[in-house]
């Protein structure tokens, strides 16, 4: 009788997560199959970063009036090399119609146009269904835009709140993850600590458009009621007390650049 193969103790764990765990080894390296899977995931992430946004495709997937602006970045290469170029609308962008809006929704390619193509229109539709009674500005597509481009766009539209839907930086487990950044009283100069983020919007593998819309709508309602977003506004937990300035300053000291 032959030896009975040992049961793989990590099989259940690998089945429950896309993370790379217990891959094994071949000599001093990885077995061939995990190495090829890693190289494929890396290639997909690189492709997502360099892929351009198909503006007509996104516009056609949206209902209602859609406006299109472009950042000051001349092309994708400049956009990737100098992130600040993606934070300002370009001089050739059309004038935006100012009004009294509760919310402006901006769609920007960020670092994964693939995520925008796959999920942005569904999130916009689901969010609109949950915000009955809100005065929502026309959706704006910001080509070669980053998170902070929502600040001047929201200010130009006269919006009290802005949501920027943007392709997140791809990882080796997901190249199509969408993020939503929420800012109260958008205007140039807002810090990242003054925003709330709902991340990993992708279905399957993350938040579905409906689940993301539930969370975003809740944060928007709380932001409108309280008059702020950012480190003071906690999802489902209430804001940090305004008199706890030490805690607020400590949270603000860990800012990171916008996507």
Q: For strands 101-108 and 159-167, give the pairing.
A: parallel
Q: Bigger pLDDT: 248 or 42?
A: 42
Q: Is residue 82 part of a domain?
A: yes
Give the β-pairing of 195-201 and 159-167.
unpaired
Quote the CA–CA distance of 213 and 218 in Å, as a whole number: 8
Identify any residues that bridge with 163 across adjacent strands, giving them in sequence order: 105, 182
**How many of the other CB atoms lie within 10 Å of CB of 121?**
21
Residue 106 lies in a domain: yes
- Per the structure, the count of domains in the chain is 1
Res 96 pLDDT > 60: yes
> Cβ–Cβ contacts within 10 Å for residue 258, how many?
23
Q: Answer yes or no: is 34 within a domain.
A: no
Rounded CA gap, 31 and 53, in Å?
36
129 assigned to some structural domain: yes
Strand intervals (E) in the chain: 66-70, 101-108, 139-143, 159-167, 178-184, 195-201
Q: Is the pLDDT score of 240 beyond 80? A: no
Mean pLDDT of the chain: 85
Domain presence at residue 138 = yes
Report, as an integer, the average pLDDT of 138-161: 95
Around Cβ 205, how many Cβ atoms within 10 Å? 13
Take residue 52 and report the two structure tokens written for it.
Answer: 């351009």
CATH assignment of the domain containing 147: 3.40.50.11240
Q: Is the pLDDT of residue 254 over 50?
A: no
Look up tokens 């007390």; give the residue.
241
User: Averaged over 51-75, what is the pLDDT?
Assistant: 92
Is 7 part of a structural domain of the chain?
A: no
Residue (of 202, 181, 56, 59) closest to 118 by Cα position: 202
In a domain, 42, yes or no: no
Q: Are 176 and 112 in contact (CB under 8 A)?
A: yes
Residue 241 falls within a domain, yes or no? Answer: yes
Per residue in 112-133, pLDDT tens? 999 999 999 999 999 999 999 9
* pLDDT > 70 in the chain, percent: 88
The highest-confidence range among 17-31, 41-55, 150-164, by mean pLDDT, is 150-164
Between 116-120, 233-237, 246-250, the lowest mean confidence (pLDDT) is in: 246-250
pLDDT of residue 229: 93
Are 161 and 181 a contacting pair, CB within 8 Å? no
Name the residue with higher pLDDT: 131 or 5.
Answer: 131
Which structural domain range is residue 61 located in? 55-252
Find, among 128, 162, 160, the residue nearest to 145 by Cα. 162
Candidates 237, 82, 187; CA nearest to 144 is 82
């Amino acid at each position: 009788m032959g030896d009975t193969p040992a049961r793989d103790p990590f099989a259940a764990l690998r089945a429950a997560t896309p993370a790379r765990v217990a891959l094994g080894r071949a000599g001093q390296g990885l077995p061939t199959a995990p190495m090829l899977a890693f190289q494929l995931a890396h290639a997909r992430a690189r492709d997502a970063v360099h892929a351009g946004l198909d503006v007509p495709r996104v516009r056609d997937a949206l209902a209602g009036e859609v406006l299109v602006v472009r950042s000051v970045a001349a092309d994708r290469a400049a956009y990737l090399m100098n992130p600040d170029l993606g934070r300002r609308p370009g001089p050739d962008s059309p004038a935006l119609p100012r009004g009294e809006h509760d919310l402006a929704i901006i769609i920007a390619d960020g670092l994964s146009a693939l995520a925008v193509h796959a999920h942005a229109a569904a999130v916009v539709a689901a969010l609109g269904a949950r915000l009955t009674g809100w005065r929502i500005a026309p959706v704006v597509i910001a080509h070669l835009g980053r998170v902070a481009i929502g600040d001047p766009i929201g200010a130009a539209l006269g919006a009290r709140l802005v949501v920027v839907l943007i392709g997140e930086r791809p990882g080796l487990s997901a190249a199509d993850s969408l993020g939503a950044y929420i800012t109260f009283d958008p205007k140039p100069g807002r810090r990242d600590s003054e925003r709330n983020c709902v991340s990993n919007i992708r279905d399957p593998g993350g938040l579905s458009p409906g689940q993301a819309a539930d969370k975003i709508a809740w944060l928007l309602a709380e932001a409108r009621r309280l008059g702020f977003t950012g480190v003071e506004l906690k999802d489902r937990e209430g804001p940090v007390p305004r008199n706890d300035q030490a805690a607020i300053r400590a949270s603000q000291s860990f800012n990171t650049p916008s996507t």
